[in-house]
Amino acid sequence: HRDLHSFPTRRSSDLSLSQGVLAQAAGMAFGSPEWKAGTAVLAQEQLITGGGPGTDDVIQPVHDRFRDVIIGALDGPARKEVHRRIALALEETGETRKDRLARQWLSAGEPERARPYVHAAAEEAREKLAFERATQLYENALELESDLGARAGLLCEMGSSLAASGHSSRAATAYLQASRCSDSQHGLDLRRMAADQFLRGGSIDQGMAVIRQVLGEHGLRLARTPGLASLAVALRQIGRASCRERV
């Protein structure tokens, strides 16, 4: 779903904006008579809270329902235009919150402009050890990405976040999906990682199935018992020693 209503926010105030951004998005000069009159009316009607003397001071609706009513009163094109103006204002004022920029571009119906911000927001969350949030953001990024190589990278990063948060089976599935978008060597490493996560999560049958598949592709078989595995290793070592003696 390209507008990604499930795009995660950390708290309600994540959607609040500074006066400078709002003024720029509205096409007004901050502190102008037009700006002061407009915000005064909204404050008098108890529709907004916050504000102050500086452009960095935040204004927000008194209640989220007011925001929803205002947004709901706009038709689709008008709503997208509002989000587009806010996104441009955020970029021009140097907004560092990648998730904010991503949300505004997505709401503006411009997924291509949102895509790098979604990916960056996911990486930021993972670096801060917010693995559950990072996973959500990687899922959002995957919805926007069609390039196989980029998808492989996102799936691998999502697998790492899932593994770090204890979701072993989901991590294994992400690694397997990534392996299908990767070259043979990298795909082999990803399937090994998938098998490891399946086994760690107690999905023994699935883990062993992946191991058998990988071994089969290289002309090898998994020994049925530990004793047979030890014997196979010993025979291989003997065979290598015999080859060296012949040389």
b/e per residue 7-36 (b: at least 16 CB within 10 A): bbeeeeeeebbbbbbbbbbbebebeeeebe
Q: 192 Cβ partners below 8 Å, 6+ apart?
A: 214
Q: Report the distance separating Cα 210 and Cα 171, nearest Å.
A: 14
**pTM for the full model?**
0.72
Q: 191 Cβ partners below 8 Å, 6+ apart?
A: 175, 176, 179, 210, 213, 214
Determine the pLDDT at residue 227: 59
Determine the pLDDT at residue 223: 65
Determine the pLDDT at residue 237: 54
Determine the pLDDT at residue 89: 93
Instruction: Spell out, as residue ranges, where the chain has pLDDT lower than 70.
Output: 1-15, 223-247
Determine the pLDDT at residue 61: 83
Q: Report the distance separating Cα 238 and Cα 220, nearest Å.
A: 18
Q: Classify 74 as helix, strand or coil.
A: coil
